[in-house]
Amino acid sequence: MPAKVDMDKIVSLCKRRGLIFPSSEIYGGLASCWDYGPMGVELKRNVRDAWWKSIVHERDDVVGLDTSIMMHPGVWAASGHIDSFTDPLVECKSCHLRWRADAIEGKGCPKCGGELTEPRMFNLMFKTSMGPVEEEASTIYLRPETAQGIFVNFDNVITTSRKKLPLGIAQIGKSFRNEITTGNFIFRTREFEHMELEYFVKPGTDEEWLDYWVKERFDWYVKLGVRKENLRLRQHGKDELAHYARDCYDIEYLFPMGWSELEGIANRGDFDLIQHAKCSGKELSYYDNEAGEKYVPYVIEPSAGVDRSVLAFLIDAYDEEEIEGEKRTVLHLHRSLAPIKVAVLPLSRNEKLTPLAKEVFNKLCPNFVTDYDDSQSIGRRYRRQDEIGTPFCVTIDFESLEDKQVTIRERDSLAQIRVPVEELDKILAAKLRGEAFDASPLWATREK
Ligand code: GAP
């Protein structure tokens, strides 16, 4: 059963509210490329930060890394990407459109029904050349995964981090794949951002660690508000495992087009370290002081996409509700992901309200990502904040000038509470930390 929202609604909300725009739009756009607008850039950043916090900062067995997109071409020969990072491609003999052979049903071209060529293997890596002379020696590739930057730095990290195994190395960064079939908005694009962890373990303990990371990663999405019933796990069949994988699980999400991969968690064994040691001539192993033995570690790899996670969070948060006869569209985003945490909204643009409203804004913005909006009716401004998922709006009215109190309006319950301006910081900080909802009777009032 597909998710309740169709993709067009998400695409339209993203455009309308400054989350995601088609790339190069004034030139007619560029297939499968998207730009993150002012709200989208905050959301994407929050997704990255949430991942980094849970994978690196909240643990003592993982360190971070940031490696270059362009790497020595030998890396891709060793990793198997030059030979094996391919998809079978067929071409229509009439309209010349190209398709992934494994993604089409029936025998003819899905567009015009024309006859298709025999499949041929197509490498998904983008090639470019480095240096001013275009010769074979300067051909390089844009990385299709960030993982290889981690493997080739394994020894650098081990010798400088003073850490023991099991040890993880994490990286977030852009990857590029010349995908044959793109589409479904930001689900599959040719340029995207990876969040990858390579977790190095002692051989023999790898299966346990694979189970551990599958659970950790599944729970991460749930903790950030994705409904469990929209997530499931799927083990890869032997015939679909990547060339480097011994075992692999996908965390799948119920996207509008059906269940599809959100993240993959693979057991890469010692494939990569062995290959790089062989091809570079540098030993890549680990001396285990406690066991008194040397071995090549196995690697467990949770590999997620920032953009695909953003899409799943948006879809899961999207809701259309009826409030007292009026429709409202709202993103019930987890507070840590919401692009704006607090919106300061003076009841009107009346010049008497502006000084206090500005004072409140200036007080809040060093601590929270805060928006200030005094145009249009208060109702419309609430709707705008609901559509971008702002958890709290603070309204300043004429009474505020007398009693120095303002109203906090909560996005999901629509409850309203009046609080003193001096307490505002503290109350919002507690609410944004997710501390128990204050059961004060004041919160029982609903928006009129
Ligand atoms: N290093 C392993 C690896 O890259 P993958 O299953 O090819 O594994 C991992 O990719 C994740 O990266 C996917 O689950 C998805 O979230 C994201 N991803 C992969 N290709 C993508 C694309 N073309 N567009 C957007 N996200 C993509």
Closest CA to 275 of 409, 82, 129: 82
Q: Is the CB of 272 under 6 A from ligand 1?
A: no
CA of 194 to the centre of ligand 1 (A): 7
For 107, phi then psi, to 5°, come to -100, -25
Q: Read off the pLDDT of each residue in 324-335 and give the average, rounded to a whole number.
A: 94
Query: What is the rounded CA–CA span in Å between residue 225 and residue 334?
Result: 6
Burial class of 372 by CB neighbour count within 10 A (0 to 12, 13 to 18, 19+): middle
Query: Mean pLDDT score of the chain, rounded to an integer?
Result: 93
Q: Is the CB of 177 under 6 A from ligand 1?
A: yes
- Given a contact cutoff of 8 angstroms between Cβ atoms, the answer to whether 343 and 394 are in contact is yes
| pLDDT score for 134 | 66
- Given a contact cutoff of 8 angstroms between Cβ atoms, the answer to whether 412 and 389 are in contact is no
| pLDDT score for 84 | 87
Q: Read off the pLDDT of each residue in 308-321 and give the average, rounded to a whole number.
A: 97
Task: Output DSSP code: residue 58.
Answer: T
* 137 confidence band (pLDDT: 50, 70, 90): low
Crossing angle of helices 7-16 and 306-317, in 10° steps, is 100
Q: Which residue has the tokens 């003999």?
A: 93
| pLDDT score for 438 | 52
Farthest CA pair distance, the chain: 79
Q: Read off the pLDDT of each residue in 29-53 and give the average, rounded to a whole number.
A: 97
* 331 confidence band (pLDDT: 50, 70, 90): very high
Q: What is the pLDDT of residues 337-371, one digit of tens each?
A: 999 999 999 999 999 999 999 999 999 999 999 99
Query: Which residue among 84, 188, 303 has the greatest number of ligand 1 atoms within 8 angstroms of its CB, and so is best to mutate?
Result: 303
What is the DSSP track for 167-186?
A: EEEEEEEEEE---SS-BTTT
Q: Is the CB of 268 under 6 A from ligand 1?
A: no
Q: Which residue has the higher pLDDT, 2 or 80?
A: 80
> Of all atoms in ligand 1, which is nearest to the CA of residue 189?
24
CA of 311 to the centre of ligand 1 (A): 13
Query: Which residue among 176, 187, 194, 248 has the greatest number of ligand 1 atoms within 8 angstroms of its CB, and so is best to mutate?
Result: 194
Query: What is the rounded CA–CA span in Å between residue 411 and residue 176?
Result: 37
Q: Is the CB of 193 under 6 A from ligand 1?
A: no
Q: Is the CB of 144 under 6 A from ligand 1?
A: no
Query: What is the rounded CA–CA span in Å between residue 417 and residue 236?
Result: 50
DSSP E strand stretches across 270-325? 286-288, 293-295, 298-305, 318-323
Strand partners for 284: none
Query: What is the rounded CA–CA span in Å between residue 274 and residue 204?
Result: 17
* 135 confidence band (pLDDT: 50, 70, 90): low
CA of 263 to the centre of ligand 1 (A): 7
Q: Which residue has the tokens 């119920």?
A: 254
Closest CA to 391 of 336, 442, 347, 430: 336
Q: Which residue has the tokens 């009841």?
A: 347
Strand partners for 339: none
Burial class of 217 by CB neighbour count within 10 A (0 to 12, 13 to 18, 19+): buried
Closest CA to 210 of 164, 269, 260, 295: 269
Strand partners for 331: 318
Closest CA to 297 of 151, 125, 445, 130: 151
Query: What is the rounded CA–CA span in Å between residue 83 and residue 243?
Result: 10
Q: Read off the pLDDT of each residue in 25-45 and give the average, rounded to a whole number.
A: 96
Closest CA to 98 of 119, 84, 82, 81: 119
| pLDDT score for 183 | 79
Residue 269, sorted as left (phi over 0), alpha (psi -120 to 50) or beta, turns out to be: left
pTM score of the predicted model: 0.93
Give, in order, the Cα–Cα distances in Å from 233 to each of 167, 242, 255, 263. 25, 17, 14, 10
Q: In the predicted model, is pLDDT for residue 439 greater than 50?
A: no
For 398, phi then psi, to 5°, come to -65, -30
Please give the angle made by the CA atoms of 291, 293 and 297, to the nearest 5 degrees: 100
Query: What is the rounded CA–CA span in Å between residue 173 and residue 59?
Result: 20
Q: What is the pLDDT of residues 146-188, one digit of tens each?
A: 999 999 999 999 999 989 999 999 999 999 999 887 779 999 9
Query: What is the rounded CA–CA span in Å between residue 39 and residue 313?
Result: 14
Closest CA to 268 of 303, 221, 237, 305: 303
